[in-house]
């Protein structure tokens, strides 16, 4: 995709190191190291979104966690991220994206150590929440720094690599979780899945301070604290009752909280409308064109799909088919190979096919999900890893074609001064989608299984999940019509 619209806009950021734009091969060593560090930080965050999946049965057994605690091991991480990403993005705009990135990385690394040392489910859930806080501070700075540092064809290729990292992390996490849990290193069982973040986080801190360029919005203003509190309140009041409702048989207070969440959202939007000339948390100008708005909506569907599919898939593989954590990890390897292939296609096609590229990926995934559901329905307990290879690889291949191009096209017209806010919003809807998708497992999956290890119940519940996933993919494909039709078109 061309970046001519951005190139013609005035620059609003403080000077940063200038990296050659004509081609990725001409980037200097410092640019490459900065890119590796940024993508490494993104990989660390995304891994911890999914690394617990294949370790869930082992965590349940060693800590005594019930179905509610199992859900919160994922939600406690996603919810603070969804709540804090918008604020985290604006903090980077105001106080320096590198500085805020390193601050978030330090919090995340310390919280990972606490996770590895946790003795019970309560402490583990609290440490996961602290990880989410660190990630919320860290993540927006990654996309924002990529957006303002690289231009033209370079940026399209960098965003394709970003998509590849997302694809890799979604499946590498469960693979790592299964391998490390099965290995039982030094008798630590699942704990190394968190402890491995400590050396990675330290590397990001040391190299990031040296090689990542600093940038801020030129016209810095005070943080919109009222907007921050209202946005956090709206998200919490929405996600919490969706997560807890099934466990308490949907009491009246759940619906009351959902209604309060809608009121808080309305108050937030009204507050932002009145603050447009006075440093709002979310600049309304971002939504003037359908490219960003449509991309955000498609990203939300993407998050819902990931939150609903990956958690229930690992439970289906281990409880519905009786696989060990290591065997289930091999299924994720198949999906990861497909995602990497799809992301490679996206990287090689960067900037050429516009919305047709991610839309094709969504259709491939939809067809593969339908084929997988048919296979499960007919194969039942006799389904083997070999038999499911084709649909699983194709699901990964399609998803791999979506992430990078969707981010690139959604953010292409964002002014540099709002890069942090836009990045925070874009990541917010992804993590909010994951949190909502995880919450939906209570309605779509656990409502059938009720935490039971019965193989038949888990298979039936997962088939229901696949119907939901198909609907989300169809909606995501439709929303992508808001993205540019032609690769060189920057206007709506």
Q: What is the pLDDT of residues 435-479, one digit of tens each?
A: 788 778 877 887 777 667 777 788 888 998 999 999 999 999 999
With 80 as the cut, is the pLDDT of residue 423 above it? Answer: no
Q: Who wins on pLDDT, 318 or 365?
A: 365
Q: CA-to-CA distance for 35 and 170, rounded, in angstroms?
A: 20
Quick one: how far is CA 251 from the chain centroid?
30
Cα atoms in the 13 Å half-sphere on the side-chain side of 218? 9
Dihedral of CA atoms 22, 24, 28, 31 in degrees, nearest 10, equals 110
Q: CA-to-CA distance for 204 and 77, rounded, in angstroms?
A: 20
Q: Who wins on pLDDT, 80 or 393?
A: 393
Tokens standing for residue 352: 């050429």
Please check whether residue 1 is in contact with residue 153, taking contact to mean a CB–CB distance below 8 angstroms.
no
Q: CA-to-CA distance for 276 and 336, rounded, in angstroms?
A: 43
- Binned at pLDDT 50, 70 and 90, residue 350 comes out as low
pLDDT for position 103: 95
**Residue 299: closest CA among 439, 141, 483, 80:** 483
- In the chain, the N- to C-terminal Cα span, in Å, equals 14
pLDDT for position 112: 93
Please check whether residue 150 is in contact with residue 402, taking contact to mean a CB–CB distance below 8 angstroms.
no
Tokens standing for residue 425: 């919003």
With 90 as the cut, is the pLDDT of residue 292 above it? Answer: no
With 80 as the cut, is the pLDDT of residue 233 above it? Answer: yes
Q: Who wins on pLDDT, 324 or 217?
A: 324
CA angle 3, 104, 440 (to 5 degrees): 80
With 90 as the cut, is the pLDDT of residue 21 above it? Answer: no
The per-residue pLDDT of the chain, averaged, comes to 80
Least confident of 6-10, 48-52, 322-326: 6-10
Mean pLDDT, residues 237-261: 82
Please check whether residue 128 is in contact with residue 63, taking contact to mean a CB–CB distance below 8 angstroms.
no
pLDDT for position 482: 87
Tokens standing for residue 27: 């980037």
With 60 as the cut, is the pLDDT of residue 384 above it? Answer: yes
pLDDT for position 2: 35
Q: CA-to-CA distance for 141 and 220, rounded, in angstroms?
A: 16
**Residue 465: closest CA among 372, 401, 349:** 372
pLDDT for position 3: 36
Least confident of 63-67, 227-231, 299-303: 63-67
pLDDT tens sequence across 355-372: 888 999 999 999 999 999
Q: Who wins on pLDDT, 351 or 79?
A: 79
Among 153-162, 201-210, 483-492, top mean pLDDT goes to 201-210
pLDDT for position 278: 61
- Binned at pLDDT 50, 70 and 90, residue 90 comes out as confident
Residue 185, number of CB atoms within 10 A of its CB = 12
pLDDT for position 18: 37
Percent of the chain with pLDDT over 90: 21
Tokens standing for residue 135: 């990630």
Q: CA-to-CA distance for 368 and 301, rounded, in angstroms?
A: 17
pTM of the complete model: 0.69
pLDDT for position 150: 75
Return the HEC string of the chain.
CCCHHHHCCCCCECCCCCCCCCCHHHCCHHHHHHHHHHHHHHHHHHHHHHCCCCCHHHHHHHHCCCHHHHHHHHHHHHHHHHHHHHHHHHHHHHHCHHHHHHHHHHHHHHHHHHHHHCCCHHHHHHHHHHHHHHHHHHHHHHHHHHHHHCCHHHHHHHHHHHHHHHHHHHHHHHHHHHHHHHHCHHHCCCCHHHHCHHHHHHHHHHHHHHHCCCCCECCCCCCCHHHHHHHHHHHHHHHHHHHHCHHHCCCHHHHHHHHHHHHHHHHHHHHHHHCCCCCCCCCHHHHCCHHHHHHHHHHHHHHHHHHHHHHHHHHHHHHHCCCCHHHHHHHHHHHHHHHHHHHHHHHHCCCCCCCHHHHHHHHHHHHHHHHHHHHHHHHHHHCCCCCCHHHHHHHHHHHHCCHHHHHHHHHCCCCHHHHHHHHHHHHHHHHHHHHHHHHHHHHHCHHHHCCCCCHHHHHHHHHHHHHHHHHHHHHHHHHHHHCCCCCCCCCC
pLDDT tens sequence across 326-342: 788 788 888 888 988 88
Least confident of 79-83, 228-232, 307-311, 416-420: 416-420
Q: CA-to-CA distance for 163 and 170, rounded, in angstroms?
A: 11
Q: CA-to-CA distance for 50 and 39, rounded, in angstroms?
A: 17
């Amino acid at each position: 995709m061309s970046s001519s619209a951005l190139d013609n806009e005035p620059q609003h950021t403080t000077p940063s190191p200038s990296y050659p734009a004509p081609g990725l091969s001409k980037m200097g060593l410092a640019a490459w190291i900065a890119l590796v560090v940024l993508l490494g930080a993104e990989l660390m965050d995304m891994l911890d979104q999914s690394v617990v999946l294949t370790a869930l049965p082992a965590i349940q057994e060693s800590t005594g966690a019930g179905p509610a605690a199992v859900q919160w091991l994922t939600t406690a991480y996603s919810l603070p991220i969804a709540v804090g990403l918008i604020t985290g993005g604006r903090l980077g705009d105001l106080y320096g994206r590198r500085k805020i990135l390193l601050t978030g990385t330090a919090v995340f690394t310390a919280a990972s150590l606490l996770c590895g040392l946790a003795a019970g489910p309560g402490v583990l859930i609290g440490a996961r929440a602290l990880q989410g806080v660190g990630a919320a501070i860290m993540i927006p700075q990654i996309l924002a720094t990529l957006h303002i540092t690289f231009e033209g064809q370079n940026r399209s290729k960098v965003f394709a690599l970003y998509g590849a990292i997302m694809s890799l992390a979604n499946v590498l996490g469960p693979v790592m979780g299964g391998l490390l849990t099965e290995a039982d290193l030094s008798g630590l069982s699942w704990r190394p899945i968190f402890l491995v973040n400590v050396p990675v986080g330290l590397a990001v801190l040391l190299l990031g301070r040296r090689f990542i360029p600093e940038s801020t919005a030129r016209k810095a203003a005070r943080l919109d604290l009222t907007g921050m509190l209202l946005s956090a309140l709206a998200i919490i009041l929405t996600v919490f009752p969706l997560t807890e409702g099934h466990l308490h048989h949907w009491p009246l207070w759940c619906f009351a909280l959902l209604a309060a969440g809608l009121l808080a959202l309305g108050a937030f939007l009204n507050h932002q409308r009145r603050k447009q000339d006075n440093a709002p948390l979310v600049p309304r100008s971002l939504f003037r064109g359908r490219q960003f708005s449509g991309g955000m909506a498609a990203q939300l569907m993407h998050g819902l799909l990931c939150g609903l599919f990956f958690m229930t898939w690992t439970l289906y593989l281990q409880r519905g088919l009786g696989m060990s954590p290591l065997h289930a990890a091999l299924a994720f390897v198949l999906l990861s190979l497909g995602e990497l292939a799809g992301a490679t296609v996206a990287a090689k096609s960067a900037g050429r096919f516009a919305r047709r590229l991610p839309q094709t990926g969504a259709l491939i995934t939809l067809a593969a999900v339908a084929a997988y559901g048919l296979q499960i329905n007919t194969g039942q307990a006799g389904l083997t890893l070999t038999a499911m290879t084709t649909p699983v690889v194709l699901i990964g291949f399609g998803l791999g074609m979506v992430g990078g191009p969707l981010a690139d096209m959604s953010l292409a017209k964002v002014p540099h001064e709002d890069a942090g806010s836009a990045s925070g919003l874009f990541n917010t809807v992804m993590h909010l989608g994951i949190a909502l998708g995880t919450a939906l497992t209570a309605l779509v999956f656990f409502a059938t299984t009720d935490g039971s290890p019965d193989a038949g119940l888990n298979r039936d519940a997962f088939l229901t999940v696949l119907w939901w996933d198909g609907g989300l993919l169809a909606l995501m494909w439709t929303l992508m019509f808001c993205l540019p039709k032609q690769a060189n078109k920057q206007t709506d």
